[in-house]
Amino acid sequence: MRCWLALFLLMGPLCAASADEQPGTPAEKPCNQHPQLAGACYVVRGRMGFYNGTPSVRIWRVGTKRILGVSEGRYRMEGYANIPQAVVRQLSWDHWLFGDFTVCPFQPERPEAMRLVCVQGVTNTSVRPR
């Protein structure tokens, strides 16, 4: 039962935005316009998926030991999208989303630490089973 509760708590913020989308509602500003960015946006080849813990959406940079965390709380700001809803709709607990992710950092790079980012977009995607 606790697993379902945790899943609900983790997915709630991601799902709530799509439920609130109404025709004529102003769209959220994209990630690259977020006022708390700590550097320039860049592209990484990665594997995105849901993980236990915070943040629940993470990107493993293919060919490295680095993990990028998509900020859900600390850098969440009203009116800004930390991840496009089109990307969220492609995610599930049973599949990985591979692609070329354009990410924008909220923190400087630090050795052995997960860097928090937002996702501007993704290209060259493929969905594969876990």
pLDDT digits (tens, 9 = 90+) for 66-124: 999 999 888 999 999 999 999 999 999 999 999 999 999 999 999 999 999 999 999 99
DSSP letters spanning 17-39 = HHHH--TTPPPPBPGGG-TT--S
Residue 26 is predicted with a pLDDT of: 61
Q: Is the pLDDT of residue 42 over 80?
A: yes
Q: Is the torsion defined by CA of 124, 47, 111, 34 positive or negative?
A: positive
pLDDT (tens digit, 9 = 90+) per residue, 7-21?
433 445 444 444 444
Residue 3 is predicted with a pLDDT of: 41
